[in-house]
Structure 1
Amino acid sequence: MRDRRQASARVRGLLQGLTALVWGLALAWGSAPALTFDPMQLAAYARQHYGAKAERAVQAWQAMLDRAAGGDEQEKLRQVNAFWNQALIGGEDITIWGKTDYWATPLESLAKGAGDCEDYVIGKYFSLLRLGVSPDKLRLVYVRAQVGSQSIAHMVLGYYPAPQAEPLVLDSLVDRIQPAHLRPDLTPVFSFNAEGIYVPGGGRRSVDQIGRWRDLLGKMRAEGFQP
């Protein structure tokens, strides 16, 4: 995570005037297709562009997805959260990518073996879509996280078992999946998924307002994903 001043500037840039979100506000906006890709083609792409280590990482990801596919949603959450928390070493975009803010695709993150908070969440989000979890139940949530004496910009994945239910929090800082009320260190700011951005009192806004999300989906399509 960046220092406190950088984190504050980052949140201001991302909010673009959006108002605060409370954990309990989640709407059912209709379903979207699950993430699709050809595992063999994706592994071949990883090898061609990033080398044999990346190919093995993609194969390990696919093996986890295959194992998790037979479980219920709680088991899928557990396996996906554990995989990504172990697959990546936490770092800063400036160190990993030479950029101040970069949203990596799951393939890019696996190739690097490193990522920042968004990269963990992106990997978990698209993994769960691949496993058939409805996007209505998933939100990428920007939060303020209290880490020691600092309040930092952070992202977690929220899983809502039902509309307006309390979400479970999948976090790269804490391995255990917990309900939101057990994470008083996190203050939600706003959330989004492929269906849109939720703005209290204003209904849904288009996720296209988040330029990095558009860029992310474009990169994923070029790699062979159909997000």
Structure 2
Amino acid sequence: MSWVKRTSSGSITALAAALVLAGASFNAAEARYEVIFKLPNSFADKTQQHQYYNRLLKEYQGYAKSSSADVRAWRAFLTTIEDQPQEAQMKAFYKETFSLVKYQSERGDVWSTPGETIARGYGDCDDYAHVYIVSAYFGGFDIEKIWMVAGQVSAGGSKPVGHAVAVMEIDDGRQFVLDNLYGRVVPDSEHKRFKPVYSINAGQQMFYALVNTALAEAF
């Protein structure tokens, strides 16, 4: 299967082409996925999906001229690390996100674009994941190898709660988890207490109530 890869130029044309072509060519029968839980209503909402991506594409080239100083600073920072090795980039933009965004839970589950999240200065787990993912776009990561993974997290015998993380596979084949609960980027083998429910491949512009069984085994 061939996919379009985004370069470090930050071209909205390349990103849009990658999303459209990936969505058009994807054959679910070719992927190793398995349904294990009912898809939450917020993630099954096609209107929310379309609205999110429309807002993302509109703001994608405008970060450097944003009315928010924090958004401009975030975009400028990403340009300073784009030539670094991928693992170093992940650690850098993960740390930068923490300096710009504070955690705050929300009623319901409304997806915010990175520009919206950074401008207001707070967000929840999926907002963090979207910032990480778009940061990786700008760094030239292969969008076929970036996922937002939703599932359940538990700690200290507490009742599991919904949670979302970003998972990225770098060029040498290693996978890392970017989770706002950890305070650092961790290899998938070190990411505990999280049960994946389904994954969203960032390069497909479509959402699945599915689990990538290969990824699930890594947690």
Q: TM-score range by the shorter chain?
A: 0.5 to 0.7
- Asked whether 1:193 is paired with 2:193, we answer no
Normalised by the length of structure 1, the TM-score is: 0.62
Q: Unpaired runs of 5+ in structure 1?
A: 1-9, 17-33, 48-54, 95-99, 202-227
Equivalent of 2:93 in 80, 91, 114: 80
Task: Give the corresponding residue for 2:69.
Answer: 56
Query: Percent identity at matched positions?
Result: 24
Q: Which amino acid aligns with 1:42?
A: Y
Question: How many Å separate the matches in 2 of 1:35 and 1:181?
Answer: 36
Runs of 4+ that moved beyond 4 A: 34-37
Q: Which amino acid aligns with 1:134?
A: D
Normalised by the length of structure 2, the TM-score is: 0.64
Q: Which amino acid aligns with 1:13?
A: N
Equivalent of 1:131 in 129, 139, 161: 139
Judged with a 3 Å threshold, the aligned counterparts in structure 2 of structure 1 residues 139 and 113 are, in CA distance, closer, same or farther, namely same
Question: How many Å separate the matches in 2 of 1:166 and 1:129?
Answer: 18
The answer to whether the 8 Å contact 2:153/2:193 transfers is yes
Task: Give the corresponding residue for 2:183.
Answer: 175
Task: Give the corresponding residue for 1:122.
Answer: 130
Judged with a 3 Å threshold, the aligned counterparts in structure 2 of structure 1 residues 70 and 15 are, in CA distance, closer, same or farther, namely closer
The answer to whether the 8 Å contact 2:150/2:164 transfers is yes
Task: Give the corresponding residue for 2:169.
Answer: 160
- Asked whether 1:90 is paired with 2:99, we answer no
Question: How many Å separate the matches in 2 of 1:80 and 1:35?
Answer: 22
Question: How many Å separate the matches in 2 of 1:88 and 1:72?
Answer: 24
Task: Give the corresponding residue for 1:6.
Answer: none
Judged with a 3 Å threshold, the aligned counterparts in structure 2 of structure 1 residues 177 and 42 are, in CA distance, closer, same or farther, namely closer
The answer to whether the 8 Å contact 1:35/1:126 transfers is no
Judged with a 3 Å threshold, the aligned counterparts in structure 2 of structure 1 residues 14 and 109 are, in CA distance, closer, same or farther, namely closer
Question: How many Å separate the matches in 2 of 1:130 and 1:182?
Answer: 26
Matched residue of 2:154: which SS? strand
Judged with a 3 Å threshold, the aligned counterparts in structure 2 of structure 1 residues 154 and 11 are, in CA distance, closer, same or farther, namely farther
Say what the alpha-carbon RMSD is for the aligned residues: 3.1
Question: How many Å separate the matches in 2 of 1:84 and 1:193?
Answer: 21
Question: How many Å separate the matches in 2 of 1:114 and 1:15?
Answer: 21
The answer to whether the 8 Å contact 1:105/1:119 transfers is yes
The answer to whether the 8 Å contact 1:137/1:162 transfers is no
Q: Give, in angstroms, the shift of residue 161 of structure 1.
A: 2.8
Q: Give, in angstroms, the shift of residue 200 of structure 1.
A: 5.6
Q: Which amino acid aligns with 2:63?
A: L
Q: Which amino acid aligns with 2:41?
A: G
Write the deviation string for residues 44-98 of structure 1: whole angstroms up to 9, x where unpaired.
Answer: 4x42xxxxxxx2101210221011112011111111111112211101223xxxx
The answer to whether the 8 Å contact 2:128/2:180 transfers is yes
Question: How many Å separate the matches in 1 of 2:171 and 2:207?
Answer: 18
